[in-house]
Copies of this chain bind each other. A is one copy, B any other.
Amino acid sequence: MNEFDFIKQLREQVGQRKHPPRLIAGIGDDAAIIRPTSQRDLVVTTDLLIEGVDFHRYATPPSLLGHKALAVSLSDIAGMGARPCWAFLSFGMPRDTWNGPGRDQFVAGFLQLADTFGVTLAGGDISATEEKIVIDSIVLGEVAAGNAVLRSGARPGDQIYVTGNLGGAAAGLKLIELGARVESQSKPGVRPSPLGRGQGEGGEAIATGSSVQSEERSIQSLLLRQLSPSPRVGWGIVLGEERLATAMIDISDGLSSDLHHLCAESNAGALVEADAIPLDEDVKHLCGRRALDPLMLALHGGEDFELLFTVAPENVSRLPKRVDGVAISHIGEINDQTATVTIREKNHEWNLLPGGFEHFKE
């Protein structure tokens, strides 16, 4: 199949889904045409995923790769307090992958997550590559004009919150590096899904049976935290619509790095309580047996794709307890120590330096 036939097939596939009325033209022309809504701002993000750097093919089933490519962009839209509407997918793959089952599985994973959140694939581009898979995922969302939540709005006294729990994705990456692999998708209980288990409240409910079984379940859960992240779309929409957050960022680089970004943009600092940071239950479960420190993973591990946000004191009581089953944790407070993040652990305080992932270390 050449790319023109593939695009034609994809267009029919997408056309059978429900189209939002404001997509005037989608796949199949030089560009897509979108009719914006008056009184709404448009929010645009793009995320590049490179094989060998951002993911490893040997550890990533194609459907999960498609899922993750979209999930990371949905997380950025959530981080703005906006609602995702339209997606664009550019990808390049070598000819053997194109001609095998991986191509359609990859696209199916992308479309399944898009359907979950009512997002329409509106366009993209395709190229061959010599060897590596490359993906660029673009998502456009909408938010009531002026309601987008920037990184720069935090003020001293604002309370700091984080959705879900942290460290699971980084632990999953370490497990992959140690040789762990996600089980077959056909096996019940570990089937990857857009809203996979072990998120929000951890995996306690399934940690039954023998110790070996329970360890294996935690491993699978953590692999899915890394390979099949759940963007906090619902929380993003609520925080934007209700004007609850003063500043927000999604945790892609790691809590320490992303809190520094937020503080730098807000010209403020933060004090974080170590005991309040929500640690992943599966990480805690495994940490005694493997060289994983749950707090370090939660602070510096990236790709959890949870939301980190600040709330003015007078609005704290208006915060919902959960959205889509995902709880939040109150982890600290914004202060006037510009660009300084302090962490308090029991009786001592220390400076939390950004320790997240960098593509180009100095």
- Whether A24 pairs with B41 at a CB distance below 8 angstroms is yes
A127 part of interface (Cβ distance < 8 Å): yes
Bound-complex Cα distance A28 to B45 (A): 11
- Whether A41 pairs with B45 at a CB distance below 8 angstroms is no
List A residues 102-145 near B (Cβ within 8 Å): 122-130, 132, 134, 136, 138, 140-141, 143, 145
List A residues 41-95 near B (Cβ within 8 Å): 41-50, 52-54, 76-77, 79-80, 82, 86, 88, 90-92, 95
**Chain A 321-362 against B: per-residue CB contact (8 Å), 1 yes, 0 no?**
000000000000000000000000000000000000011111
Closest chain B CB from A69 CB (angstroms): 12
- Whether A42 pairs with B35 at a CB distance below 8 angstroms is yes
Q: Which residues of B contact A320 (CB under 8 A)?
A: none
**How many monomers of this protein are in the complex?**
2
A295 part of interface (Cβ distance < 8 Å): no
Q: Which residues of B contact A134 (CB under 8 A)?
A: 48, 50, 92, 129, 134
Residues in A lying within 8 Å of B, measured CB to CB: 1-6, 24-25, 28-36, 38, 40-50, 52-54, 76-77, 79-80, 82, 86, 88, 90-92, 95, 98-99, 122-130, 132, 134, 136, 138, 140-141, 143, 145, 148, 150-152, 248-250, 265, 358-362
Q: A6-B360, A31-B77 are in contact. List 11 more A-B contacts (CB 8 A).
A: A24-B41, A30-B79, A31-B44, A31-B79, A35-B42, A36-B40, A44-B88, A46-B124, A48-B126, A48-B134, A90-B136
